Structure 1
Amino acid sequence: MKIHEYQARKILSDLGVPVPPAEVVRTPEEAAAAFSKFNSPMCVVKAQVYAGGRGKAGFVKLVKSPGEAMQAAHFMLTNRMTSYQTGPEGVPVSVLIVAPGVEIAKEYYLAITVDRARKTSTLIASAEGGVEIEEVAKHSPEKVFKIPLHPALGLQPFQATELAYKLGFTGKQTREASKIITGLVKAFFQTDASLAEINPLVVTKDGQMLALDAKFNFDDNALFRHPDIAAMADESQEKELDVRAHKASLNYIALDGTIGCLVNGAGLAMATMDIIKLHGAEPANFLDVGGGVTAEGAIEAFKIILSDEKVKGILVNIFGGIAKCDLIAEALVKAGREVGFKVPVVVRLEGTNVDKAREILQAAKAELPTLIPATDLTDAAKKVVAAVGKAA
């Protein structure tokens, strides 16, 4: 789960990390009023979206009057933002922040993320902030410092101080930087985050140190512990089908192909997509209904898949373990009756009570003529690819 910048700033501020003042606005008039409130010669208007590249896309603007703030806000609120992270369809903008301008002397980068190679969380820092850290790591890897964090002890005070020195801080600023680094680590662990980022951390010309921009991603599996964070979700920033799948406890990722995949288990999903490609077609999605397939879950899964106009056929690949095959077959038939299978639906079942399940599917063939049983995964892939080819 992601949140907006202004929400991330609040999390950091509550843990003692200094952030500049900002006003959250939702109309051009509110943006003009915010500019007047700050009584600053210059303010910045920033779109709040779940994507980077805002500046290059024109959705971060410096303004010098209430009128300019209103114009900038009107532009952002009436246009979708398109950047390298959004895809050509862009994302809507419904909330902005207005903040007084800051005279920046130096920018830094701080982040914590899950390092799956090291099997731990890792603190990442660089004195090259305000830019894409991927480019810095690619062209100047020696400028990026990484500190694996102990799973129980976290970041030790000496590590924070040592990192502050490596980033070039001296004297009083070393202590301030160490405090900010420690605060970011605390925020990461307390919120069960998968990413916590400050980019840039700035030193102003008068010596202040501020977290000018912040970003947090959270582990969805831990949100039950954080209802306050779960309540921050902005569904307008997510694709409609992704939101529907999440509410139904389905793991769904849209792809560009023509064959929808309905499976139980991530590994089985990967194998299903691979074998579709092996036989000359492209998967339209990754959809994992989990171990306990229910009629309700199957119905919603089919509705989601069939909402994608690109889908010309569906491959159902289910291994009956926790949920027995005959119960799964009954759920699929019920889903077919309710949803209506207007495209070929090839079903491969394996596991407990599979013979009984195949009898159920065979008995439903007259009622659901587009339902095609398969004997194994290869047979299923061949049948769905052939059926989609004929439909095309």
Structure 2
Amino acid sequence: MRLHEYQAKEVFAEAGMPTPESVLAESTDEVLDAAESIGYPVAVKAQVHVGGRGKAGGIELAESDEEAREAADSILGMDLKGYTVERVLVEQAVDFVDELYVGVTMDRGAGEPVAMVSSEGGVDIESVAEESPEAIAREHVDPAFGMHHYQANRAVYDAGVDRAVASDVASVLTTLFDLWEDRDASEAEINPLMITGDDEVVAADAVMNIDDDALFRQPDLAEMEEAAAGDDLEAKANEYGFDYVRLDGNVGIIGNGAGLVMTTLDLVDYYGGEPANFLDIGGGAKAERVANALDMVFSDDNVDSVVFNLFGGITRGDEVARGINSAIEEFDELPKPVVVRLAGTNAEEGMEILNADALDIEQTLEGAVQRSVEQAGGAQ
């Protein structure tokens, strides 16, 4: 479960994290009232589950009623990477001199949590990790003992954080790790953690994703789930019983198994494409289930092509193929190209059954992904 920024900041503030004064608003009048209450200048920030909100026009600064009204009218109701903005966070603007990144997640390769600090905050941290990995200081944490203060201090020192604020940044990192652990989070980050001219640190953004399987231990966070969803497709996925996560790309991905879907996501990225979603339809591939999956992916305006990565296990490949054929018969014409790769039990029989007039069929997963990336416009 992904929390919205305003929800994550509530959790952070309760833990003693320094956050700006803010008010949630759903209308222009509420934005103006909030701005007057907080005092100008303020930031008006779209509350949707996408990255790069600022670059996409989802964050505006306002120094007067007129500017706040313009920002509210511009952001509320806008389509932001496929999401309709229904709420904004009106927040006290921070006069900063530096921006940092701090985050905690699970390093599955190392089998341990990892805490991270970077002096290159305020930008896409994934780009920093790819282009300048040395700019991110990492500290692995033994889950049996938790994060020690010396580890937080070392990460801050390795990141080159100014000594005047190093202790406060280390304290924020320690608190963030404790929240990540205590709240059963899969990811927690602040980007940016702003440094003011008075050497104060402020969490100007907040990201927190919670492990769905642990929500029974987090009843207060579970209550936030409906408000956190904020997306018709994710609500539809819950209704259908799919494991679904919406992403920012344009290659739709459908598979029957989490491992298959993750592998497909990795290959889409490897061949220069950008995944639009994670969609695991689970065991079996009956016509209705496949049709529901296609309906979901076709409903995402960001999607330009779809790739199926399916495995015939208990459900044989020929049954999977019949399910796909039955599903596409519900469409007069497929609105977007669909590439299918089928493997496993009776895969050859299934490949022969698939409707080659409506679908693009590939023998290998690599070939299927490459074709789908090409159909979506090629490498980005």
Other-structure match for 2:225: 230
Cα separation, partners in 2 of 1:122 and 1:79, compared to 1, 3 Å: same
Q: Any idea what the Cα deviations from partners look like across 1:6-60, whole Å, max 9, x if unmatched?
A: 111111111111111111111111111112112x342222222222222233332
Corresponding residue to 1:205 among 192, 197, 205: 197
Question: Residue 264 of structure 2 contacts residue 309 of structure 2 at CA under 8 Å; is this kept in 1?
Answer: no
SS of aligned partner of 1:55: coil
Whole-Å separation in 2 of the counterparts to 1:245 and 1:298: 13
CA distance in 2, matches of 1:212, 1:106: 12
Quote how far apart the aligned CAs of 1:292 are: 5.8
Match of 2:72 in 1: 73
Of 137-146 and 264-273, deviating more is 264-273
- How far residue 216 of structure 1 moved from its aligned partner, in angstroms, is 1.9
Cα 1:332/1:52, change in 2 over 3 Å? closer
Tell me if 1:319 matches 2:312. yes
- What's 2:44 paired with? 45
Partner SS, residue 213 of structure 1? coil
Q: How large is the Cα RMSD of the aligned pairs? A: 4.8
Aligned residue in 2 for 1:186: 178
Paired with 1:311 and 1:129, the residues of 2 have a C-alpha distance of 32
Q: Which runs of 5+ in 1 are unaligned?
A: 274-282, 363-369, 372-376, 386-392
Aligned partner of 1:2: which letter? R
Q: Report the counterpart of residue 109 of structure 2 in structure 1.
A: 117
Aligned to 1:91: 83
- Aligned to 1:218, which of 210, 216, 220? 210
Deviation (angstroms), 1:157: 1.9
Q: Which amino acid aligns with 2:141?
A: L
The amino acid across from 1:73 in the alignment is: A
Using the aligned pairs only, state the percent identity. Answer: 33
8 A contact 1:3–1:233 mirrored in 2: yes
Structure 1 Cα separation of the partners of residues 226 and 117 of structure 2 = 30
CA deviation string 1:36-85 (max 9, x = no partner): 112x342222222222222233332222222321221111114323xxxx
Is 1:144 aligned to residue 136 of structure 2? Answer: yes
**How far has the Cα of 1:308 moved from its partner?**
8.4
Q: How many residues align?
A: 347
CA distance in 1: counterparts of 2:276 and 2:204, whole angstroms: 40
- 1:228 partner letter: E
Q: Which amino acid aligns with 2:99?
A: E
Alpha-carbon distance in structure 1 between the residues aligned to 2:276 and 2:194: 44
Structure 1 residues 258-279: Cα deviation after superposition (integer angstroms, max 9, x where no partner): xx99763345668999xxxxxx
1:25-64 to structure 2, matched below 5 A, reads 25-38=25-38, 40-64=39-63
Q: Show CA shifts across 1:151-188 (max 9, x none).
A: 22221122123334442334xx4443332111100111
Q: Equivalent residue for 1:168?
A: 162
Return the offset for 1:111. 0.9
For residues 262-315 of structure 1, what are the alpha-carbon distances to aligned partners after superposition, in whole Å with 9 as ceiling and x for unaligned? 763345668999xxxxxxxxx999754323667874664465578789999998
Query: Any gaps of 5 or more consecutive residues in structure 2?
Result: 266-274, 372-380
**Contact 2:255/2:309 (<8 A) preserved:** yes
Change (3 A) 1:249 1:71: same
Q: 1:53 to 1:269 in 2, by over 3 A?
A: closer
**How many angstroms apart in 1 are the aligned matches of 2:134 and 2:276?**
41
Contact 2:317 2:343 in 1 (8 A): yes
Letter paired with 2:188:
A
Change (3 A) 1:336 1:147: closer
Tell me the distance in 1 between the aligned counterparts of 2:277 and 2:132.
Answer: 37
Instruction: Give the corresponding residue for 1:366.
Output: none
CA contact (8 A) 1:43 1:100 kept: yes
User: How much does 1:347 deviate?
Assistant: 12
Q: Which residue of 1 aligns with 2:5?
A: 5
Report if aligned partners of 2:117, 2:156 keep a CA contact under 8 Å in 1.
no
* Larger-gyration structure (1/2): 1
Rounded to whole Å, the distance in 2 between the matches of 1:124 and 1:183 is 13
User: CA separation of 1:161/1:241 partners in 2, compared to 1, >3 Å: closer, same or farther?
Assistant: closer
TM-score by length of structure 2 reads 0.69
